[in-house]
A = this chain, B = another copy of it.
C-alpha cells in the first residue's frame, strides 16, 4: 500500500471537526454557516470558520457568498468532497462490524 496517497487523505481528516463538517454537508447538500453551526454540536465560531476555510482550500467544499445585508454564505460538497464519502463509508462498515464492547 502506497503511503503517500493515504497520507494525503489523512491530512483531510486532521482536526477534531473536519469529519463532522463533511458528514453534516453530506446529509443536507447545502447549508448556511449558521445552520452548520447548529448541526455540529459544540463547535465554536472560530473553529467552524477556520475548518471551513481549510476544507475550501483543499477543494472539498464549495463556498457561495451572497453579497447582501445581512450576509449569507452557503456551503456544499464539491465532487471531490462527495467522493470522499466513500472513505467514510468504509469507516462506517468497519465501525459497525467492530465497534467496541
Contact = CB atoms under 8 A, between A and B. Distances in A.
Interface of A: 1-10, 13, 19-20, 23, 26-27, 58-59, 80, 83-100
This protein's copies in its complex: 2
A84 B94 contact: yes
Chain A binding surface SS class:
helix
Given A13-B13, A90-B86, A95 B1 contact: no
A91 B10 contact: yes
Given A1-B27, A88-B1, A95 B13 contact: no
A45 B64 CA distance: 47
A98 B84 CA distance: 9
A88 to B, nearest CB: 6
